[in-house]
Structure 1
Amino acid sequence: MTGVAVERIVDIATEGRHLSASRGFLVVSADRQEVGRIPLDDVAAVIVHAHGVTWTTSLLVALAERGAVMVLCGSNHAPVALCLPLDGHHAQNARLRAQWQAGRPLVKQLWRRVVVAKIRWQAAVLAAFGRPADGFDLLARQVASGDTGNVEAQAARRYWPLLMGPDFRRDRQAPDANALLNYGYTVMRSLCARAVVAAGLHPSIGIHHANRTNAFALADDLVEPFRPLVDALTLRLLDRGVTEVTPVAKHAYAGLIAVDLPGPAGTTTATLAAMRAAQSLATAFTLGQADSLELPLPPTAAVLADLDGLLP
């Protein structure tokens, strides 16, 4: 694990809070009295869960100028809206053009790499918890361009019962473990959305996710290999008796952005891994080469065991 994360996830879960910017700080107030502040330069994302929260335009501008994002969540802790900066990388225009004009063969090969990485991550998480991971390597090798055989879904049908038990069903609207997963995925999704914008790419132009109502399609593509990291922490929380999205759980999930992960160029934090993935994706679009995409390698059991350091 790293020491102290430079960037932070700020979660607003208390009703009636007011958010503003003042002299380089994000200021949280209640009944016109300040209750907390954090340097704006330290903020990676602001996640708003509570109702009745207000904020100033100057705060949104200050966050955007620093490349930070604001995420608005529904009652199930899943994101429903995201405020992203318009200005990204200095080569944004060229990268957006390359992203928009990317041919189907390239896009399908990119998605194949994402699915293979996700399945290998799932296998690593299962093995770390002593669950049988037999067959996942074979599934990863069976992923075709564009995952036309829907191997991702086949892996998911094996993965969830092995990890969470035979009665578990992944349901975004369900409570307990599903709500925990929703929250954890929101943290990682906001991280990937920020990385995508910083790389000069548009978050709504995905390589696989293409729902017309999804403004974060590319972030949803890029987050896939990171999801098993959330799954692993969720299982550790459940083992500790944490079954709801409590402050303890939120603090643990926020710490995921600083977890050390193996990568093609050596060990790096999850934040830098997401940035590297987005930057390499921009390169892949520009060069037309899918193998330019760099995704984090499957973690070792020791790396996943270090998640205990995020728990109280």
Structure 2
Amino acid sequence: MIKRTLFFGNPAYLSTKNNQLVLKYPDFEDEKTIPIEDLGFVVLEHPQITVTNGLLMKLVQNKTAVITCDKQHLPCSFFQPLVGHSEQTERMRHQLNASVPLKKQLWQQTVILKINNQANHFLSRGKNALRLKRYAKNVKSGDFVNEEALAAAFYFQNLFDIKNFSRNQKDIAPNNLLNYGYAILRAIAARALVSSGLLPSVGIFHHNKYNPFCLADDIMEPYRPFVDALVYDIVESGCNIEELNRNIKSSLLMIPAIDVVIDGKQSPLMNAMSRTSASLFDCFEGSRRKILYPEFRSSLQTFTN
């Protein structure tokens, strides 16, 4: 079952009763209730939202990712359970004992899949993907040449019809849309890792000591082109992309439900991420040798302004 994503952009009081999320707005007496078991993500944007501890407890127990936003309306944090799997200790031990050669091989697989997905996204837009395909073929164990960065620079320089566009220009649209989408994607990855009994903070490549989501940043890489495709459609729709309006946010919050193809079968992105995290544990455990990632296809949900 596809879990629902709830977005709260106005002052509200959120509580729980009978395993339901109870929603009440300040100016309305009526209450709305939503089954907690149906929820995968809850996004809290407005600073005047009150959430009871009882609701937070039930959401976390349901493995619902609760995402909070900063003053720029961008996701900045999310709640996760301390215990996400019954065999968590054993699974973390396998993760922490993973050898350096294994991590390098897993990162090589990840980078190749990411660049190939970028290339396939290019092809779906009628763009020349030969250079990206060449980058993918040149990726070695550990990607010590950093083909991933070279491919990303070329990819974003040529994806949007925006002169001199760069991901380094954080204030230039559509970087605001990409940042929002990637933050949602990161939460999806972290949620899946916790559910698989893994530590999101211990990566196979990313290792910044100030980053609590290194492993999430690792496994979300091949998923980024799916966010890029959605942002591309938003840009091409001709709407105002300087600000994240309600329509744009609503579209980006559908990222967990985007259909992707993984292991030859169509699946919602959120479910595919769970399969990716489960396959990663199998690699740590030694029962498989490759991480399971989705392949980019052109049949994606499009944005309607």
Superposition TM-score, scaled by structure 1 size: 0.90
1:78-227 aligned at under 5 Å gives the runs: 78-164=74-160, 165-171=162-168, 173-174=170-171, 176-227=173-224
Q: Report the 3-state secondary structure (helix = DSSP H, G, I; strand = E; otherwise coil) of the residue aligned with 1:38.
A: strand
TM-aligned CA deviation for residue 36 of structure 1: 4.2
* Bigger fraction of residues in helix: 1
Partner of 2:304 in structure 1? Answer: 311
Partner of 2:18 in structure 1? Answer: 23
TM-aligned CA deviation for residue 110 of structure 1: 0.9
Q: 1: distance between equivalents of 2:6 and 2:149?
A: 33
Whose relative contact order is higher, 1 or 2, with alpha carbons under 8 Å and at least 6 apart?
A: 1
Partner of 1:255 in structure 2? Answer: 254
TM-aligned CA deviation for residue 23 of structure 1: 2.0
Q: Determine what percentage of the aligned residue pairs are the same residue.
A: 33
Tell me if structure 1 keeps the 8 A contact 2:192–2:274. yes
Tell me if structure 2 keeps the 8 A contact 1:117–1:298. no
TM-aligned CA deviation for residue 285 of structure 1: 0.6
Between 130-139 and 75-84, the greater mean CA deviation after superposition: 75-84
Tell me if structure 2 keeps the 8 A contact 1:27–1:36. yes
Q: 2: distance between equivalents of 1:180 and 1:63?
A: 27
Q: 2: distance between equivalents of 1:293 and 1:250?
A: 31
AA partner of residue 25 (structure 1): Q
Between 78-87 and 124-133, the greater mean CA deviation after superposition: 78-87
1:36-51 aligned at under 5 Å gives the runs: 36-51=32-47
Q: 1: distance between equivalents of 2:197 and 2:217?
A: 16
Q: 1: distance between equivalents of 2:138 and 2:31?
A: 54
Tell me: CA distance 1:246–1:297, structure 2 relative to 1, closer, same or farther (3 Å): same
Structure 1: stretches of 5+ with no match in the other structure: none
Tell me if structure 1 keeps the 8 A contact 2:75–2:184. no
Q: 2: distance between equivalents of 1:12 and 1:231?
A: 24
TM-aligned CA deviation for residue 59 of structure 1: 1.3
AA partner of residue 71 (structure 2): S
Q: Report the 3-state secondary structure (helix = DSSP H, G, I; strand = E; otherwise coil) of the residue aligned with 2:16.
A: strand
Tell me if structure 1 keeps the 8 A contact 2:104–2:204. yes
Note if 1:238 corresponds to 2:235.
Answer: yes
Tell me: CA distance 1:311–1:13, structure 2 relative to 1, closer, same or farther (3 Å): same
Tell me: CA distance 1:76–1:158, structure 2 relative to 1, closer, same or farther (3 Å): farther
TM-aligned CA deviation for residue 95 of structure 1: 0.7
Tell me if structure 2 keeps the 8 A contact 1:118–1:226. yes
Superposition TM-score, scaled by structure 2 size: 0.92
TM-aligned CA deviation for residue 254 of structure 1: 2.3
Tell me if structure 2 keeps the 8 A contact 1:9–1:187. no
Tell me if structure 2 keeps the 8 A contact 1:69–1:85. no
Q: 1: distance between equivalents of 2:155 and 2:73?
A: 23
Tell me: CA distance 1:47–1:175, structure 2 relative to 1, closer, same or farther (3 Å): farther
Q: 2: distance between equivalents of 1:176 and 1:232?
A: 15
Tell me: CA distance 1:172–1:58, structure 2 relative to 1, closer, same or farther (3 Å): farther
AA partner of residue 61 (structure 2): E
Alignment length (residue pairs): 301
Query: Aligned-residue CA RMSD in angstroms?
Result: 2.0
Note if 1:277 corresponds to 2:276.
Answer: yes
Between 237-246 and 268-277, the greater mean CA deviation after superposition: 237-246
TM-aligned CA deviation for residue 311 of structure 1: 2.8
Tell me: CA distance 1:36–1:292, structure 2 relative to 1, closer, same or farther (3 Å): same
Note if 1:294 corresponds to 2:287.
Answer: no
Between 28-37 and 17-26, the greater mean CA deviation after superposition: 28-37
TM-aligned CA deviation for residue 77 of structure 1: 4.5
Structure 2: stretches of 5+ with no match in the other structure: none
Query: Which residue of 44, 62, 68 corresponds with 2:58?
Result: 62
Tell me if structure 2 keeps the 8 A contact 1:205–1:217. yes
